[in-house]
């Protein structure tokens, strides 16, 4: 689940905090990195859990109306398509999903107001009403409604965003990426798998975990060399006036360029330029692009930049 784009962002964030703090060591930085990754994985389950909580809230609303002193015909015979959603029923029984929630004690019990806000937003949406009024309900439409809810309501909710920030400092910048993982999860669900349907693993494979560990270590081990390379290609700039985040981003990019021969130069440059656009100044993307492009040109002339193309290699 945790892809390399997110790993790059995590490493930049950890290194920025590392350099701004006193007394940290490489083992501490590595421990902090993987703790941050684990918290992002927690958020994946926590937001998935929202779908179950919202469905249960809807079921409670129906039950309350049924038990009114003078229920209407509509109260007694409600449209239960939303609460009978087959995807949610399958997720609720998922072994891997429930096991993780149990062992990590994730819950929305202290955030009941968020559940109510999201539910009320959902039931006023056009796509919800189309779903409820459709002549036929099937597993595909049951999955589709939740993909739309996550993309158009949960991801866009300011109230939820504030709640997430209050719940855990590690979740502040992760919601958009995690929602994309959840949408991917929903697409992969197969009714035939029943409760054995797996959710996404923390890492696609051990190679990605090792990539993160190696990249962080190489940045810190070769810090002086990378700083000198940056200094040599920013002669017309006072390093003290360059955004510190830009320096950190370039250091990580140089570590990846130097120590990961199977990752194409263009992939590395594009990834860190995009990170700069999001996490640094408005002009950082252009600035970092220019500096790194010059450094890459020099390394190629000196035959210090070796890249290997693997057959059937999938770009990370």
Residue range 74-113, pLDDT digits in tens: 889 899 999 999 999 999 999 999 999 999 999 999 899 9
Length of the chain, please?
Answer: 316
Return d(Cα 275, Cα 271) in angstroms, integer.
Answer: 6
CB atoms inside a 10 Å sphere around CB 17 = 14
Sign of the alpha-carbon torsion through 224, 229, 231, 232: positive
pLDDT in tens, 12-34: 999 999 998 887 899 999 999 99
Which domains occur in the chain, in start order? 4-196 (no CATH), 222-301 (1.10.940.10)
Q: Is 64 left (phi over 0), alpha (psi -120 to 50) or beta?
A: alpha
Confidence of residue 316 (pLDDT cuts 50, 70, 90): very low
Q: Say if residues 202 and 1 touch (Cβ distance below 8 Å).
A: yes
Sign of the alpha-carbon torsion through 111, 113, 115, 121: negative
Secondary structure, 3-state, 210-272 = HHHHHHHHHHHHCHHHHHHHHHHCCCCCCHHHCCHHHHHHHHHHHHHHHHCCCCCHHHHHHHH
Q: Is the pTM of this model over 0.75?
A: yes
Q: Give the contacts of 260 (CB within 8 A, at least 6 positions apart).
A: 211, 214, 215, 268
pLDDT score at 238: 65
Q: Say if residues 169 and 127 touch (Cβ distance below 8 Å).
A: no
- CA end-to-end span of the chain: 13
pLDDT score at 314: 44
Return d(Cα 130, Cα 127) in angstroms, integer.
Answer: 5
pLDDT score at 309: 59
pLDDT score at 236: 76
Average pLDDT over residues 278-298: 93
Q: Is 49 left (phi over 0), alpha (psi -120 to 50) or beta?
A: alpha
């Amino acid at each position: 689940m945790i892809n390399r784009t997110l790993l790059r962002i995590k490493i930049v964030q950890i290194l920025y905090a590392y350099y701004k703090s006193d007394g940290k060591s490489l083992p501490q930085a590595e421990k902090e990195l993987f703790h941050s990754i684990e918290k992002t994985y927690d958020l994946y389950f926590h937001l998935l859990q929202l779908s179950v909580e919202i469905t249960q809230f809807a079921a409670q609303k129906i039950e309350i109306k049924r038990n009114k002193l003078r229920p209407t015909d509509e109260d007694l015979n409600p449209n239960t398509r939303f609460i009978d959603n087959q995807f949610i029923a399958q997720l609720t029984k998922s072994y891997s999903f429930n096991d993780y929630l149990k062992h990590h004690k994730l819950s929305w019990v202290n955030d009941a107001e968020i559940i109510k806000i999201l539910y009320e937003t959902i039931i006023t949406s056009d796509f919800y009403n189309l779903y409820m009024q459709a002549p036929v309900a099937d597993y595909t439409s049951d999955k589709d409604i939740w993909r739309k809810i996550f993309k158009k309501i949960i991801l866009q909710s300011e109230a939820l965003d504030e709640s997430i920030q209050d719940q855990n400092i590690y979740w502040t910048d992760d919601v958009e990426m995690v929602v994309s993982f959840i949408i991917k999860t929903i697409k992969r669900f197969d009714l035939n798998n029943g409760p054995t349907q797996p959710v996404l693993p923390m890492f696609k494979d051990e190679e990605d975990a090792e990539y993160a560990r190696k990249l962080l270590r190489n940045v810190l081990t070769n810090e002086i060399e990378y700083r000198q390379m940056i200094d040599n290609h920013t002669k017309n700039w006072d390093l003290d006036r360059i955004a510190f985040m830009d320096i950190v981003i370039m250091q990580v990019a140089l570590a990846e360029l130097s120590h990961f021969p199977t990752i194409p130069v263009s992939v590395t440059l594009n990834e860190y330029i995009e990170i700069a656009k999001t996490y640094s100044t408005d002009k950082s993307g252009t600035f970092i692009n220019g500096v790194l492009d010059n450094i890459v040109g020099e390394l190629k002339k000196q035959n210090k930049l070796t890249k290997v193309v693997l057959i059937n290699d999938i770009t990370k």
